[in-house]
Amino acid sequence: MEKIIEILSSLKSGVDFRTAQGIVTDKIIDSIDIATMISMLEDEFDIEISMEYMENENFDSVEAIWEMVQEIQEG
């Protein structure tokens, strides 16, 4: 999960992503940040995030992102 926090922090400084909830729904990051984050996650974890995962709930917290990454890796 540390790598996910690093990725998010590189997109938006000054946010405590360890505790942040509603990262997408509360507009802590914008659509450009989301697109960049998805690309960085795919590169870092050697995964492809398909359309079925493109839901706000999968990106709203570090824990949700981590769970999604693990699910894709196991798939």
Q: What percentage of the chain carries pLDDT values higher than 90?
A: 99
Predicted pLDDT of residue 27: 96
- Sign, CA dihedral 36-33-52-16, equals positive
pLDDT classification of 4: cutoffs 50, 70, 90: very high
Proportion of the chain in helix, strand, coil states, percent, rounded to 5: 60, 0, 40
pLDDT classification of 52: cutoffs 50, 70, 90: very high
The rounded distance, in Å, linking the Cα atoms of 49 and 40 is 11
Q: What is the mean pLDDT of residues 45-58?
A: 97
Q: What is the mean pLDDT of residues 16-38?
A: 96
